[in-house]
Homo-oligomer: A and B are copies of this chain.
């Protein structure tokens, strides 16, 4: 039963600052994407990875690894995107268990229209508000935090 070390005022402010900034950013960007381009952030990410892949097609498990999504989440989401005609799903020729997800022409049109808008939004609300030093600082901060999270995850897996 050790003493609780609550956050002091500055720690509190830093933590809240991060959380509320992030909430505001993701909400804003998601809204922009939906209204200007008709795709959600998850849609955008799926389409972006498909677009960058050799043939505009990927196995779900590859897509899942790139996005760090669980397989069931991916399955559900791809199902919805398929209904809207953004991607298509076929059985894999070389692995009878598997499938292949391909971007459709309609999906390609949407993402190529959305990408410049999205880049401009990110620049407007984030990049252009900060100094070079602050961007560097964020990279360092992210690295440290991710490292700690990874360590905890490993620890949990092996105990």
Contact = CB atoms under 8 A, between A and B. Distances in A.
B119 A20 contact: no
A10 B136 contact: yes
Contacts of A124: 148, 152
A54 interface: no
Main SS class of interface, A: helix
Interface stretch (A76-84, A91-99, A102-110, A139-147): A139-147
Interface in A101-146: 116, 119-120, 122-127, 129-130, 132, 134-146
Nearest to A149: B24
**Oligomer copy total:** 2
A21 B145 contact: yes
A24 B145 contact: yes
Nearest to A17: B142
Given A5-B120, A10-B136, A122-B7, A18 B127 contact: no
Q: In this complex, which of A21, A122, A139 has the most chain B Cβ atoms within 10 angstroms of its Cβ?
A: A21
